[in-house]
Amino acid sequence: MRPELYLYPKRFLAVLTKLFAPRPWAFYISVSAAVLLTRLALLPFTDLPRPVIHDEFAYLLQLDTFAHGRLTNPSPKHPEFFEAEQILVRPTYNGKYFPAQALVMALGQVVFGHPWYGVWLSCGVMAGVLLWALGGWLPFRWVIASAAMIYPLAAFSYWMTSYWGGSVTAAGGALVIGAYPRRNGWLLGLGTAILLLSRPYDALAVLLPFGAVILWKHASPRLLVPALGVTAVALAWFAYDNAAVTGHPLRPPYSEWTAQYAMVPALTVLPSLPPKNPAHAILKMNYGGWEIDRFERAKTAAFFWKFRPAEWFEAGSILTADPGVLFLTLLACPLLWKVRKMRLSLLSVVLWLAGSTIVYACFAHYASPVTAALLLLAGCSFRLLLLLRWPHRCTGRFLAYGIPVMILLVASGKPALNALRTKSPYDGKAAIAQKDRVTNGLLEAQAGKHLVFVHYSGFLIPHAEWVYNSADIDSQDVIWAQDMGPEKNQVLMRDYPGRKYWTFDPDQSLDVFTPVVAP
């Protein structure tokens, strides 16, 4: 193996280290700016992300509520017409999720005019915060090398191209992990608050080990007072928000939704929930069909070992930007445990894996609280490669300095080229991805305001739901409602006089609206 093959990336890394080591914050900001500018540069070639997954529509409703300066919305007229997956219509009208992600997207809508810019901004900030977190644990040259993983995660993963979340929670976990070695109580409290207001269950994998060590070894008023103060303020606001949405400060929207709609508990070890009878076929299909089937199968060992390792591997590959890096990190785990500074992060990842064994589905954004921990382990794995001397003394150095370069080229180059393609990435998605086009087409063909009753005649799938509306239903040009039959539909039509009324069957055609005679 020729020595110069690894000397080029090593020398480049040395130059960057010398340039940024006196002011590491400049490097963190530079990577964040690179993420943000990359996505802006691709906008002329791509559509703004469209919501496809029903979770995304729930987040969009929440952010629209916050963007209007409200914590929640009054229950709509005849709320049964507006029931949809992941949505509450009683006692108030809102999405079911924890508020952190929606608050950031609301910022994008208010400041930039579209919620995706909140996602865009959060991914850029996440990149810088992840690097900052790693800077508290790794030598700076390996923080720079780790940017090869963080840049594609922030710029090209589905955390950037959807409304499903991930970046906000990952930034919260990074704040906790980065604040620990710096003994910064304010940032520790901020990270804890973000985690509790986004994914509190998964966040335990970070909060329990780091919190326990802080209380055991590093408890001091200088650290605990600001950390607990910031967390207390966040939880007080959260209780106020809960009271506005559900009527009780200790009852989050997720709990209210579970009581009204869920047919299976969130964890497979919890007792069964009382049976429910949703009013609409598509809700029965998802809550009473897919979720029950997945829940029951997830409790079997055969199903678990067939699917869960694959879900873990996919999530880890997204977080580390490449399956090879994840595989390298797994191989390095015995050595990582011997590195005392890596034990807390390794324990966090193991705790998350243990906690995910009792959920019936697992995605990369579920692992977002431990993103910084996993990246820290991966970055340290690069460094441990220097110990490799077989089959040549240069092998370890070649891999340690060459792998980050390959990750950056492959993990960033391929998605960037895909983004430049002329074919829309939504052509193969569920029909709901065309909802904006369908809505605009109706408004162009028929002036005025409309009320559309959605009827499903085909095979129902979880992401076929069309009945999602904004926070202010009454002001919409096109209101989407469940078709409950001619007689019941007349009741809703009377409450929205002066509109044009239609039935719409997305299973038959996305361009055909059948007029309904006004009452």
Per-residue pLDDT reduced to its tens digit, 237-249? 999 999 999 999 9
Two structure tokens written together for 42:
């691709």
- Is residue 352 within 8 Å of 369, Cβ to Cβ? yes
Q: What angle do CA 453, 458, 459 make, to 5 degrees?
A: 120
Higher pLDDT, 424 or 253: 253
pLDDT grade, residue 426 (50/70/90)?
A: low
Q: Closest by alpha carbon to 61, among 91, 85, 44?
A: 85
For residues 264 and 177, which has the higher predicted lDDT (pLDDT)?
Answer: 177
Average pLDDT estimate for 95-113: 96
pLDDT of residue 413: 80
Asked if the model's pLDDT at residue 45 lies above 70, the reply is yes
pLDDT number for residue 38 = 94
b/e for 347-371, b at 16 or more Cβ within 10 A?
A: bbbebbbebbeebbebbbbbbbbbb
The pLDDT-based confidence of 425 (bands split at 50, 70, 90) is low
Lowest mean pLDDT of 211-215, 301-305, 329-333, 470-474, name the range: 301-305
**Whole-number pLDDT of residue 9:** 76
**pLDDT for the residue 470:** 96
Instruction: Taking the CA atoms of 436, 439, 444 and 445 in sequence, report the sign of the dihedral they define.
Output: positive
Q: What is the pLDDT of residue 427?
A: 58
Contacts for 322 with CB less than 8 Å, ≥ 6 apart: 149, 407, 410, 411
Residue 1 confidence (pLDDT): 46
CB 380 within 8 Å of CB 339: yes
Please state, in angstroms and rounded to a whole number, the distance separating the CA atoms of residues 389 and 385. Answer: 9
| Percent of the chain whose predicted confidence (pLDDT) is above 90 | 70
Q: Report which DSSP code applies to 286.
A: I
User: C-alpha dihedral over 494, 496, 499, 503, to 10 degrees?
Assistant: -70
> Tell me, what's the pLDDT at 105?
97
Region 335-340: mean pLDDT is 92
The pLDDT of residue 398 is 79
Q: What is the mean pLDDT of the chain?
A: 91
Q: Which residues contact 493 (CB under 8 A, 6 or more apart)?
A: 451, 499, 501, 516, 518, 519
pLDDT at 2 over 70: no
User: Residue 459 has what pLDDT?
Assistant: 65
**Mean pLDDT value across residues 56-64:** 96
Size of the chain, expressed as the number of residues it contains:
519
The string of pLDDT tens digits covering residues 250-307 is 999 999 999 999 988 989 889 888 888 888 888 888 777 778 888 888 888 888 888 8
Looking at 224-233, 337-346, 415-424, 430-439, which range is the least confident one?
415-424
